[in-house]
Amino acid sequence: MPPKKNTTASQDAGDDDGSSQAGRELAEMRARAEALDCRLRATEEELGLIKSTTGNLERGQMALQVVVEEIRTDSQTWYGTLGQWQAEANTKLDHISRGQDELRATIAQLKEMIAGLGSREPARQTIDQIPAGDKLKGTMIDTANHAESRGSGRRVAEDKGSCDPGPRRRMEKLGDRCR
């Protein structure tokens, strides 16, 4: 064993102070290292949560993109369908409008015929103006014939002095009473 040096009490106290200071610094460094280690673990946990959340957000974003595409496709389909329906409705409205115009023209022709029922020729001229094959022409001819027969009945009744100006059938039923 090496010989013991003569040291004074103050030197012994200094050595103790030096080692205790080094021990304190070492303890502080360990405490800082533990604190940094805790922070590192907390940061790693937060990073894991962030990665997890980011992954969830990315999956959610992809799912939303799929839904948006489906909505876009559906809206385009519905827009096309609505366009077709609108075109069909416009076509039907055009047909209705043309039908109304034809009906107005027919009503005007009927009014002319009714006005011309007193004489036979104007009614026949009006009927002759209608194109052949028109459904209305047959109806108008029947109406004109009926009106002419009523007119003839009136004339017959007036000629014979009857008080009943009804159609020819009524005149035939009355027979001799009207003469």
**Mean pLDDT value of segment 118-140:** 60
Q: Determine the 3-state secondary structure of 166 from DSSP.
A: coil
Tell me, what's the pLDDT at 61?
93
Q: What is the pLDDT of residues 43-76, one digit of tens each?
A: 999 999 999 999 999 999 999 999 999 999 999 9
How many residues make up the chain in this entry? 179
**Mean pLDDT value of segment 114-129:** 62
Tell me, what's the pLDDT at 77?
92
98, 104, 105, 109 alpha-carbon torsion, rounded to 10° = 160
Q: Are 153 and 133 in contact (CB under 8 A)?
A: no
Q: Which residues contact 110 (CB under 8 A, 6 or more apart)?
A: 140, 143
Between CA 15 and CA 28 the distance in angstroms is 20
pTM of the prediction? Answer: 0.34
145, 148, 150, 153 alpha-carbon torsion, rounded to 10° = -120
